[in-house]
Chain A
Amino acid sequence: MKNFVDAYSWINITYLFKGLLITLEVSIISLLLSFIIGSFLGVIRYSRIKWVSGTVGFIIDIIRNLPLLLIIFFTYFALPKLQIHLSIMQAAISALTVFESAMIAEIVRSGINSVPIGQTEGARANGLTSIQTMWHIILPQAYKKMIPPLVSQFISLIKDTSLATIIVLPDLMYHAQIIYGQNNNYIIPMFLAISIMYFVVNYALSLIARWLDRRLV
């Protein structure tokens, strides 16, 4: 019991929260970037432009089927050989963005697919160009359906950020390791604390996802 009291000192707790902030910061930046890139890729993949959408689709499939950890290693250890030097933070955000963009592109594509074809036909019959149709008619309806899967994707993004501890990103997981590295008695209290922190953030998000799911359907 004494271990728990000692482990949860003010300094340690604030240190963990600093880690949580980094985790959230990296996740949110990556989410925003990959939302933009992923939407763009998803639309291209849907568009069926000869060669282009096929090639984009194949690249998306490759990225989706690689372990994120490998992409993180590649960004941090292999890109410098190509004269691309990224800080730890930039490398983590880039790796997560590349991986998540591919995931979100698939979500966007299936979201667009779920909009009834009559919507496109109606818009086109009323004289909208295909880009106008996509922007004003299809995407707004598709995004509504995509909100629940996007939130689940965000949850896995927050969890996946922990993998970046391997390139020494000072996130929640890493800060916990620093603390229990100094004192072995703190191992169990630290695992408990970070499990609760991850759980609270992610469970809250999943409740929001469920609520949105019920409201939008």
Chain B
Amino acid sequence: MINILQNHLSEFISGFGITLLSSVIALVLSLVLGTIFAIMEVVPNKGARVIARIYIEIFRNIPLLVITMFFYVVVTKIFAMSGLTAGTIGLALYTSAFIAETVRAGILAVDSGQMEGARANGLTFWQAMQYIVLPQAFKIVIPPLGNQFINLVKNSSTLAFVAGFDLMYQGNEIASTTFDTINTYIVVGIFYLIITLPLSYYMRYLEKKLA
């Protein structure tokens, strides 16, 4: 195990970096998209609600791999992009549907009196949303959002399907050149756990604290 790590340290590190980079970019994109669709689900406009619902249900019910492969196989023919870009876009779209559901639950968990009070004090719907409801909603949804980020890091392994040069891809390359599959995959697993395990314990701690 130590041998594998020493001989291929640079590959592991660069894969680890790409996994982190792609996860963080996908997280930011999916937070933005997810929040937009979550708000669309609670606005009074019925059209917006229907569009948001359709978007969320489509991306929640189709496997991430299908979305990622679609971008890699189909969309790259129209817009040339690397596997990493295609994979990250796929990840962001897939995760945004889950984040939208999480944020929506957070918005609904904020007491409706908050919105009513804000409106009664003369704030517009959007002002009330921005200054009163969303800040409280985000506080509630921090632990589930953290869990979404953990899922995102794990799901970023699908980049290996589209030559994304992420940790899983590098691990496979190393495994197929050294034939030392057991140790390579154990090292890859440890690298993933470095990100996900502390985060999941921290989220559990936050959940307990907030509960």
Contact = CB atoms under 8 A, between A and B. Distances in A.
Q: Do A and B come from one complex?
A: yes
B175 A61 contact: no
**Nearest 8 pairs between A and B by C-beta?**
A67-B157, A202-B61, A65-B196, A159-B63, A162-B63, A67-B154, A78-B181, A69-B157
A6 interface: no
B192 to A, nearest CB: 6
B31 interface: no
Given A73-B181, A159-B62, A188-B74, 15 more contacts: A61-B197, A64-B200, A66-B192, A67-B154, A67-B192, A73-B171, A73-B175, A159-B61, A159-B64, A161-B63, A162-B65, A163-B158, A194-B66, A199-B58, A202-B62
30 contacts: A65-B150, A66-B189, A66-B193, A67-B154, A67-B155, A67-B156, A67-B157, A68-B154, A69-B157, A69-B160, A70-B168, A73-B172, A73-B181, A74-B185, A78-B185, A158-B63, A159-B64, A163-B65, A165-B65, A188-B74, A195-B58, A195-B70, A198-B63, A198-B66, A199-B57, A199-B58, A199-B61, A202-B62, A203-B57, A206-B57
Given A70-B185, A198-B66, A62 B61 contact: no
A166 interface: yes
B188 A155 contact: no
A157 B157 CA distance: 16
A62 B190 CA distance: 9
B73 interface: yes
Interface in B173-211: 175, 181-182, 185, 188-189, 192-193, 196-197, 200-201
Contacts of B70: 191, 195
B138 interface: no
Contacts of B188: 70
Contacts of A173: 63, 65-66, 69
Interface of A: 61-62, 64-70, 73-74, 77-78, 81-82, 155, 158-163, 165-166, 173, 177, 180, 187-188, 191, 194-195, 198-199, 202-203, 206
B55 interface: no
B154 A65 contact: yes
A159 B182 CA distance: 26
Interface residues of B, number: 37
